[in-house]
A and B are shown apart, each in its own frame.
Chain A
Amino acid sequence: MRTLFDHPSREAVGGLFPACDVPAVDPARALGAENVRPTAPRIPNVSEGEVARHYTALGRLNYGVESGIYPLGSCTMKYNPKVNEDVARLPGFALAHPRADEALSQGTLTLLADLTELLRRIAGMAAATLQPVAGAHGELLGMFLFKKHFEESGEPHRKRILLPDSAHGTNPASAAVAGFSVTEIRSNEQGMVDLDALKAELDETVAGVMLTVPNTLGIFEENILEVTRAIHDAGGLAYFDGANLNSFIGRARPGDMGADVFHFNLHKTLSTPHGGGGPGAGAVAVSAPLVEYLPVPWIVKDRGSARLDWDHPKSVGSVHSFHGNVLVAVRAYAYLVQLGDEGLRAVSENAVLNANYLQERLKKTYPLPYDRLCKHEFVLSGTGLPDHLSALDVAKRLIDYGVHPPTIYFPLIVPEALMIEPTETEGRASLDRFAEILERIAREAHESPELLHNAPVQAPVRRLDQTQAARNPVLTYPFGET
Chain B
Amino acid sequence: MAYPATYRYTKEHEWLRIDGKQARIGITEHAQAELGDVVFVELPAVGATVKKGGQLGTVESVKAVSDVFAPVSGKLLQVNSALESAPEMVNQDPHGEGWIAVIEMSDPGETKELLDAAAYQALIA
Contact = CB atoms under 8 A, between A and B. Distances in A.
Interface string A449-482: 0000000000000000011011100000000000
Contacts of B37: 467, 470-471
Interface string B37-67: 1011000000000000000000010110000
Contacts of A471: 37, 39-40, 87-88
A409 B61 CA distance: 15
Nearest to A469: B62
Interface of A is mostly: helix
Contact of A466 (B60, B62, B88): B62
Nearest to A409: B63
Contacts of B40: 470-471
A360 B62 CA distance: 34
Contacts of A466: 62-63
A470 B87 CA distance: 11
A181 to B, nearest CB: 15
Nearest to B60: A470
Interface in A364-386: none
Contacts of A409: 63
Interface in A418-473: 466-467, 469-471
A388 to B, nearest CB: 12
A109 to B, nearest CB: 45
Nearest to A466: B62
A470 B91 CA distance: 15
Nearest to B88: A471
A435 B37 CA distance: 33
B34 to A, nearest CB: 13
Q: Which of A466, A469, A470 has the most CB of B within 10 A?
A: A470
Contacts of B60: 470
Give the most central of B39, B60, B63: most A CB within 10 Å. Answer: B39
B80 to A, nearest CB: 16
Contacts of B39: 467, 470-471
Interface in B79-115: 87-88
A468 to B, nearest CB: 9
A471 B85 CA distance: 9
A471 B89 CA distance: 12
A414 to B, nearest CB: 16
Nearest to A470: B39
Contacts of A469: 62
Interface string A92-115: 000000000000000000000000
A469 B62 CA distance: 9
Interface in A399-419: 409
Nearest to A473: B39
Contacts of A467: 37, 39, 62
A316 B87 CA distance: 44
A470 B37 CA distance: 10
A467 B60 CA distance: 11
Contacts of A470: 37, 39-40, 60, 62
A475 to B, nearest CB: 14
Contacts of B62: 466-467, 469-470
A466 B61 CA distance: 10
A236 B60 CA distance: 36
A466 B60 CA distance: 13
Nearest to B64: A409
A100 to B, nearest CB: 46
A194 B62 CA distance: 32
B99 to A, nearest CB: 19
Nearest to B39: A470
A409 B39 CA distance: 20
B72 to A, nearest CB: 27
A466 B87 CA distance: 14
Q: Which of B62, B63, B87 has the most CB of A within 10 A?
A: B62
Interface of A: 409, 466-467, 469-471
17 contacts: A409-B63, A466-B62, A466-B63, A467-B37, A467-B39, A467-B62, A469-B62, A470-B37, A470-B39, A470-B40, A470-B60, A470-B62, A471-B37, A471-B39, A471-B40, A471-B87, A471-B88
Given A467-B39, A467-B62, 5 more contacts: A409-B63, A470-B39, A470-B40, A470-B62, A471-B40
* Pairs of residues from A and B, 5 with the lowest C-beta to C-beta distance, nearest first: A470-B39, A467-B37, A466-B62, A471-B39, A470-B62
